[in-house]
Amino acid sequence: MCAIVSLGPKAGVLHQYAKKLIAFEYKTQSVKKPHSLLFIGGLGDGVATVDYMEDLVAALEKTPWSIFTLQLSSSYDGWGSGSLDQDIEEIAECVNYVREYKSVNFGPGRIAIMGHSTGSQDVLSYLYRPNPLLKSPGCHVEINSVKRPVIDGAIMQAPVSDREAILNVLENGTHRDSPSAIREHFNKMVEFARRNTSSGDGTMDVMLPIEWTTRIYPVTTPISCRRFLSLASPDSPKKPSLDDLFSSDLSNDRLHETFGAIATQGMLRHKLMVLYSGRDRSVPKWVDKSNLMQRWKTAANQNGKVEIWDSENSMIIPNASHALSDPDQHEPRRILVSRVTNYLKTLEKLS
């Protein structure tokens, strides 16, 4: 189901790709657009919440590419009770919908997915996880064992570690709590969460008290014990959770299980493009961004056995903030748009 709408000044088509799930396609009616870029935001994001999308939409307006911004069950405040499993099943549903929609209207086209922040965890999970998914132990979230379709391209922007972002808060404290006080709150949350996810039949989420979660997260989003433990991953780096994909202290063996499995799973026809923000306040000062990117590249390329990492377009964007939303982000946005459009042009040439 689809309808032509105007989202403020943004014209396009609103698609219902599954029950209660929509995607907004930015497009004009004057240009044939057989190719599709599906955009997945981070925690708290939804349709039209990431500012640099305006730049990408403008850059792609006269090209054969249209952009779809996805609304998942975990969008907006839904992230607190969501899961990567549910996200990638819904992304697969949208890929199938868009592929059929574009094929009927324009013939075969390319499809790429792009994730911002935690949306990058969705992208990597889409590429490396079993297909179809196996239900995660202790997770009540329904998965339908959807067979994920192969995609042509994949982009991760600001793939930061939620766990290290939390550790940064614990180290520095907040305007409300000292480091020792916030650590005490965190430990209490971990103990409560462990106690309320390891018992019972796993059919229902238990939510953490909001008066606790707001000491660490600057929002009043209800957060389940299950999702908190996945994001905080207190047993990392030895036993990382599903959400802990980008921490700098993960072992090379773990990276080969995630990045290194992309080629083995065969979900990606081209290469993986990664854009890291050089001035991302979500990244602690102790993280060596260049070294981390090199380790991801080595793992993705299986120590030189394959070429999955897009070395031509992947980069750390100088001075870029997390979502490139600060007032001084004109040049970082220009670089992002240039890299993404160049990558998409390469996809058009795939045989």
pTM of the full structure: 0.94
Of 4-13, 123-132, 168-177, which has the strongest mean pLDDT?
Answer: 123-132
- Bridge-partner residues for 36, per DSSP? 66, 111
Give the residue-averaged pLDDT of 48-73.
95
More confident residue, 219 or 234: 234
What pLDDT is recorded for position 230? 97
Q: What is the dihedral of CA 194, 196, 200, 206, to 10 degrees?
A: -140
Every domain of the chain and the residues it spans: 2-161+246-348, 164-232
What pLDDT is recorded for position 1? 61
Give the residue-averaged pLDDT of 57-80.
95
Short-list 200, 252, 256, 260, CA closest to 226: 200
pLDDT surpassing 90 at residue 126: yes
pLDDT range class, residue 5, cuts 50, 70, 90: very low
What pLDDT is recorded for position 142? 58
Distances (CA, A) of 81 to 77, 207, 221: 9, 8, 9
pLDDT tens digits along 311-328: 999 999 999 999 999 999
DSSP 180-207: HHHHHHHHHHHHHHHHTTSSS-S-S--B
How high is the mean pLDDT of the chain? 92
What pLDDT is recorded for position 149? 98
More confident residue, 134 or 287: 287
pLDDT surpassing 60 at residue 140: no
> Each residue of 3-38: b (16+ CB within 10 Å) or e?
eeeeeeebebbbbebbeebbbbbbbeeeeebbbbbb
- Bridge-partner residues for 25, per DSSP? 13, 68
**Residues of the chain above pLDDT 70, percent:** 92
CATH second-level architecture of 2-161+246-348?
3-Layer(aba) Sandwich (3.40)
pLDDT surpassing 80 at residue 7: no
pLDDT tens digits along 251-272: 999 999 999 999 999 999 999 9
Q: Which strand ranges, in their side-by-side order, compose the sheet holding 315-317?
A: 2-7, 10-18, 21-26, 65-70, 35-40, 111-116, 153-157, 272-277, 315-317
